[in-house]
Copies of this chain bind each other. A is one copy, B any other.
Amino acid sequence: MSNEPSTILQTFANPNPERDYTIRMEIPEFTCLCPKTGQPDFATLHLAYIPDRLCVELKSLKLYVGSYRDVGAFHEAVTNRILGDLVAATEPRYMRLTAQFNVRGGIWTTVEAEHHGR
């Protein structure tokens, strides 16, 4: 995996930093490639976070998610990497990413990772 995707993410100032509140985003259109076979994988991403100073800008998130289209990535690694990119971009008080992958070999895999900020 290249390191470029994270440069796509944009942020905006949290309009209510004095309050802990939660933003949840459901992103059903994630697709990448299986590093072994080159065949496409598909997942629905569920993001939840408590912003600190910065929020994720919606359109850049869409482009960031789309940037994995030609990237070979294993389920566990790519979920942790996306979480890492989003944490680096927004430095949230809390963030959780859940990636529900489509069935492969008769098995449905979901990977869920979270980050606890300051």
Interface residues in chain A, defined as those with a beta carbon under 8 Å from any beta carbon in chain B: 14-16, 19, 21-29, 31, 39-40, 42, 51, 55, 58-59, 61-62, 66, 69, 74-77, 79-80, 102-114
**Do A76 and B14 have beta carbons less than 8 Å apart?**
yes
**Do A110 and B24 have beta carbons less than 8 Å apart?**
yes
Alpha-carbon distance A80/B69, docked complex (angstroms): 25
**Do A23 and B111 have beta carbons less than 8 Å apart?**
yes
Count this chain's copies in the assembly.
Answer: 10
**Do A16 and B76 have beta carbons less than 8 Å apart?**
yes
**Do B107 and A61 have beta carbons less than 8 Å apart?**
yes
29 CB-based A-B contacts, threshold 8 Å: A14-B76, A15-B76, A15-B77, A16-B80, A16-B113, A19-B113, A21-B76, A21-B79, A21-B113, A22-B113, A23-B75, A23-B112, A24-B109, A24-B111, A25-B108, A25-B109, A27-B107, A27-B108, A29-B102, A31-B31, A42-B106, A51-B76, A55-B76, A58-B107, A58-B109, A59-B105, A62-B105, A62-B107, A104-B106
